[in-house]
Each structure stands twice: as C-alpha cells, then as structure tokens.
Amino acid sequence: MPTIPNIPVKYLIAFGALIAFALLIWAYGNARENAGVEKTDAKWEAAGERLAEEAKQAASSADRAAADRAASEFERVKQEKERLDEATDAGSSPWDVMFGG
C-alpha cells in the first residue's frame, strides 16, 4: 500500500520513529544540560557569597590592624613629645633628643 510517491508506509513509520527518537534524545540532553547549568550557577553564586564574606573579614582584620598601627604610632609620638618637653624644660636642645646627641 504505497503512499507518498512510491514510498512504502513501513519506511515512513520507521522514519517517523527515528525522528521521534532523535527528538527524545535531544530533549533529554537539553534537560540534563540545563540542570547542569543551574548546578554550576548555584556553585558560582555560593562561591561569590563565600568570597564576599571573606572580603568582609579581611577588611575587618585590616581595619583592626590599621587601628593598632595608629595607636602604636600615637603612643610613639606621645613618648617623643614627652622627651622633647623634658629636654626643653631641662634647657637642653630638642635636636639632641631627636638625633641622639
């Protein structure tokens, strides 16, 4: 029982089944790819959040270190000023205190 110009029905059915099978394979692969992309995106987002948290911690640590350095420098300058004031009160030259004379 021929249909389309001299192509038997069994060949048309086989061709249709082959096309349907190819579409199923494509749909399955596409679904898996999309799931993989979502997983990868979720991993990147989690890594970005971890990085942001680590950056905050590093900034906080750096701020504490800067505050410690500022306090240390303030204390050094305070001690130096006291030595200069003592030298001035004693009638000595501040230059001697500053340059170890």
Number of domains in the chain: 1
| 100 inside domain | no
List C-alpha distances in Å: 17 to 4, 89, 92: 17, 106, 107
| 15 inside domain | yes
The answer to whether the pTM exceeds 0.85 is no
| 101 inside domain | no
| 56 inside domain | yes
Residue that has been written with the tokens 């701020």 in this structure: 63
Position 22 scores a pLDDT of 95
Residue pLDDT, tens place only, 59-98:
888 888 898 899 999 999 899 888 888 888 888 887 877 7
Full domain range(s) for residue 21: 9-86
pLDDT value at 5 more than 80 = no
| 41 inside domain | yes
| 30 inside domain | yes
